[in-house]
Chains A and B, each alone.
Chain A
Amino acid sequence: EVQLVESEGGLVQPGGSLRLSCSASGFTFRDYPMTWVRQAPAKGLEWVSSISDSGRSTYYADSVRGRFTISRDNSKNILYLEMNSLKIEDTAVYYCARGFRADPFHYWGQGTLVTASS
């Protein structure tokens, strides 16, 4: 059974940093690209970032480019999202999902809430 489990989010002051992780199981992690999607309170889905199966290629939404970094450890089956210079508008539930481009988003994690507030 495919499982994606995000780490706990939290409350961070604007300008602060936080690293999210997503532990994957039930499939060969290194064979799939991975993606982060977020959802602000009472808003729609917003793509954040994706990474190729090897980790060599990364992609970012304009809203987070230069502040967020996606990475992965294929030896540990973990996906990461390093978030720096957090803004109030980054407040959202963050989901990790398996897939990108030719791979549809078949599987999603349960989501983790990140709140950027003073």
Chain B
Amino acid sequence: SYELTQPPSLSVSPGQTASIPCSGDELGDQYTSWFQQKPGQSPVLVIYEDNKRPSGVPERFSGSNSGSTATLTISGTQATDEADYYCQAWDNSLVVFGGGTKLTVL
């Protein structure tokens, strides 16, 4: 079965850039979405179709996808961005989630 691999954790200083990778076989050949989830809350879509931002998502969130790696980039990271982040793609048209990355802002 298709797997998406994310680092379990990542740390970034406030104001710096956070880059969260998601790797999968030929991932660049399909669309990837990214979700932010804060403790006790439902997931929130922050990037879809590799690099599109839903309305209301700050411009500091961006995405890219090429080769075998999709990347969520948060520029000028703020304390409020501390959360778990999940990538999502497809396996034979069925949904696959990455294991998630806990982003710590300190």
Q: Using a CB–CB distance below 8 Å, which chain A residues touch chain B?
A: 35, 37, 44-47, 50, 59, 61-62, 95, 100-101, 104-106, 108-111
Contacts and interface: CB of A to CB of B under 8 A. Distances in A.
B93 interface: yes
B106 interface: no
B42 A45 contact: no
Contacts of B45: 104-106
Nearest to B54: A106
Interface of B: 1, 33, 35, 37, 42-45, 48-49, 54, 84, 86, 88, 90, 93-100
From DSSP, what is the main secondary structure of chain B's interface residues? strand
A70 B39 CA distance: 28
B7 to A, nearest CB: 13
B42 A111 contact: yes
Contacts of A62: 1
* Most chain B C-beta atoms within 10 Å of own C-beta, residue among A62, A104, A108, A110: A104
A37 B42 CA distance: 11
Contact of A45 (B49, B86, B90, B93): B86
A46 B97 contact: yes
A101 to B, nearest CB: 6
A104 B48 contact: yes
25 contacts: A37-B43, A44-B84, A44-B86, A44-B97, A45-B35, A45-B88, A45-B100, A46-B97, A47-B95, A50-B94, A59-B94, A61-B94, A95-B42, A100-B95, A104-B33, A104-B48, A104-B49, A105-B35, A105-B43, A105-B45, A105-B88, A106-B45, A108-B43, A109-B42, A111-B42
Contacts of B90: 101
Nearest to B100: A44
A46 B95 CA distance: 9
Of listed B45, B90, B93, residue having the most chain A CB within 10 A: B45
Contacts of B95: 35, 37, 47, 50, 100
